[in-house]
Structure 1
Amino acid sequence: MPQPMTLSEIAAALDARVEGDGGIVITRAVHPSDAEGPGDLALAMDKDLLALLPGTKARAAVIAEGVEVPAGLDGCILVKRPRYAMAGLMDVFEKRVHAEPGIHPAAFVAPDAVVGDGASVGPFAYVGPKAVVGKGSIVMPHATVGAEAQLGEDCLIHPGARIGERVVLGDRCIIHPNAAVGNDGFSFVTPEPGSVESAKSTGQVKATNVVIRRVNSIGTVILGHDVEVGAGACIDRGTVTATRVGHGTKIDNLVQVGHNVQIGSNCMLCGHVGIAGSVVIGDRVVLAGKVGVADHVTIGNDAVVAASSGVGTDIPPKTVWMGYPAMPRAQAFEQYRNLARLKRINADVADLKSRVKAIEAEGNVSGGAPPETT
């Protein structure tokens, strides 16, 4: 927060209601147990944190609507949806990265590159020939913007991030440390059908890969506005056209997006997700941590895939899938229930077998034929 704000001003930014003294001057937001003085705003939207408010040194707090205001506070902000309010609070109290305006003397910017007004290029950063860094964008130290790449306005490229040649970023994109956008795709071919092709078609390995030839990637990557790419994530360029990520999509740390993939808007791809080549993902799709998606699969709009699932077939819109291999949630739960019953079923079968053996043995001793069973 650039300067202190009153409790009422913060509430207005959150579209929330104030109870008590709205004129209290706030200098920072803190965990209730970390409050040190009257300028602190205690964040107690979680019911477990309310117990920490009595006796706090803070004069004001943020709590959820419907909760009784603790005694001893001079003012409170009441929010409807605590987690959403937290996002707004973090905007209010944001501590922006340090970036000197202009081009640092230790940076390299190609003579024909374009750096927009108010942009910042930090020390040891590289901006290649004919690249464009949009107005207000920040390229931090040791980051790379390849030749002919285009950054929109107000982008933030963290240290060590790599924006490949000809890659296009929309406005307000954030690329975290050591992410790589615009790598060549993992695309190779053998002169004759190889082991993978025979394994897919026959279930057996009937060929050997004597020569493996690289398929160059001459396409690019295009990110829409407000896309965020986490630390260590990798997005491969298309073979001929572009790998695309729609507006507002968020990609977590250590996610792999293969060549030719098409991702819609406002998707969330959580950590360790791996997406093979030529996958099509609709709008507002959520892939939880460690989901793997096979090549050429289509996932419909608003689908949700649970953590550690392996997606090998198309997923319809607005469905929840889970498991390995991934299947509809109800079907997966049915399988899990059946697996849990196996121990009891095996015990019942063993008991039945022992009973049948006893009956057969009794029939043999008496000299008669075993009784008929149905």
Structure 2
Amino acid sequence: MTPHRIADVAAALGLEHAGDGDLVVRAPAPPAQAGPEELAVAMDPKFLGDLAKGRARAAVLPAGADWQGLGLAAAIFAPRARYAMAGLTARFQHPLDAPAGVHPSAIVDPSAQIGPGASIGPFVVIGRDVTIGANARILSHVSIGAGARIGDDALLMEGVRIGARTRIGHRFVAHPNAVAGADGFSFVTPEPGAVEAAKDRGASDVFGAAATVYVRIHSLGSVAIGDDVELGAGACLDRGTLKDTTIGNGTKIDNLVQVGHNVTVGEHCLLCAHVGIAGSAVIQDRVVLGGKAGVADHLTIGHDSVVAGGSGVGANVPPRSVMIGSPAIKRDEFNRMWMAMRRLPRAMDKLRELTGGLR
């Protein structure tokens, strides 16, 4: 990694430093393993004791830590550890091997418009009438469908698939094998089938070919993605049926997330790994969906809500709610039910005692 002065690192992070600001470090490292040219990361007080196990001369420490007593030559002070970690890792990020220009093995339709400074890697396929913004980095084996538009400073990592007509804003990041613009999972039977019967009557009491042959409803819409959106590895965004599936500015989507057709995701949402959102759901601004949370179709989750990991949302959620469980309910109600369940064995024992052995 590129060497950095302690004073420069602190200035880039907007943090205070003490000691030898000219001391040079080449990479951050855990405190117990850090060598003399590495910056020990000990922002949590519980890691301060590990500094003695390593050989670091400089460290990132909690605000007010006794850096001299820890035997350091220099220190950077981080009052908000995880936020400092974001800036620190960005400062020492490994550079991508993405030289400007089009690799000889790439296939780029003559009608495509490639912005200045863009890098088009090996075996990339770019369809007709595609527009790619300035300084975009398209790594190997990416495919971009006809009519797609991608903004400036995008990063599409290996194997990403961008479907036809998809529109993407600036500074988009897609990790390996992510897909934006797949066909929606939408089928119908010639006659009312088992799912419709289950919804209407609570029983799967239909049978026969007309109720079990599935006919595709095609996705005529596409996907529209705002600025500063990140799409994790293997995540999938399906096209809308008639309108576009939309992802708002600043939203971050983790690995293996599924966003169904016609879904609207607002701005600055956080969708953690294995989240599944069924068709036509609306996720308003600043919603957090924990890992493995599921959202049923045609529901609305209100702005600034948090849904805990593993929860199953089967009804509309008001704004600023905290939901837990499957089916998901408000946190306070969930806690009361959980405490009641924990007391149930003792209550049953007491009931047996009072009734002389109730079974």
TM-score, normalised on structure 1? 0.92
Summarize deviations over 1:146-181 as a string: whole Å, max 9, x none: 111111111111111111111111111111111111
Change (3 A) 1:352 1:124: same
Seen in structure 2, the aligned counterparts of structure 1 residues 356 and 204 have a Cα distance that, compared at 3 Å, is closer
How far the C-alpha of 1:355 sits from its partner, in A, is 6.8
Deviation for aligned residue 1:356: 9.0
Match runs of 1:1-374 below 5 Å: 3-37=2-36, 39-54=37-52, 56-69=54-67, 70-208=69-207, 209-354=211-356
Q: Which runs of 5+ in 1 are unaligned?
A: 358-374
**In structure 1, C-alpha distance between the alignment counterparts of 2:358 and 2:270, rounded to whole Å:** 57
Q: Does the aligned pair in 2 maintain the 1:55–1:72 contact within 8 Å? A: no
Identify the range of structure 1 (191-200 vs 152-161) with the bigger mean alpha-carbon deviation. 191-200
Measure, in 2, the Cα distance between the counterparts of 1:73 and 1:350.
66
* Secondary structure of the corresponding residue to residue 352 of structure 2: helix
Unmatched 5+ stretches in structure 2: none
Contact 1:124 1:141 in 2 (8 A): yes
Size of the aligned set, in residue pairs, is 355
Instruction: Identify if the C-alpha distance between structure 1 residues 67 and 240 changes in structure 2 by more than 3 Å, giving closer, same or farther.
Output: same
How much has 1:308 moved relative to structure 2? 0.5
CA contact (8 A) 1:223 1:245 kept: yes
Q: CA deviation at 1:197?
A: 1.1
Runs of 4+ in 1 over 6 A off after TM superposition: none
Give the superposition deviation at 1:4: 2.6
1:369 alignment partner in structure 2: none
Q: Based on CA coordinates, which of the two structures has the bigger radius of gyration?
A: 1
CA deviations over 1:41-87 (Å, ceiling 9, x no partner): 11111222211223643221110103222432111111110110000
State how far apart, in whole Å, the 1-side matches of 2:158 and 2:225 are: 19
Supply the distance in 1 between the matched residues of 2:141 and 2:154 (Cα, whole angstroms): 16
Aligned 8 A contact 2:256 2:273 in 1: yes
Residues 73-117 of structure 1 show CA distances to partners (whole Å, capped at 9, x for unaligned) of 111111110110000001111113211221100111111111111
Give the superposed CA RMSD: 1.6
**2:295–2:314 CA contact under 8 A, matched in 1:** yes
CA, structure 1 residues 46+215, in 2 after alignment: closer, same or farther (shift >3 Å)?
Answer: same
Find the aligned partners of 2:77 and 2:340 in 1 and give their Cα distance. 47
One-letter code aligned to 1:302: D
TM-score, normalising length: structure 2: 0.95
Cα distance change of structure 1 residues 228 and 356 upon mapping to structure 2, 3 Å threshold: closer
AA partner of residue 258 (structure 1):
G
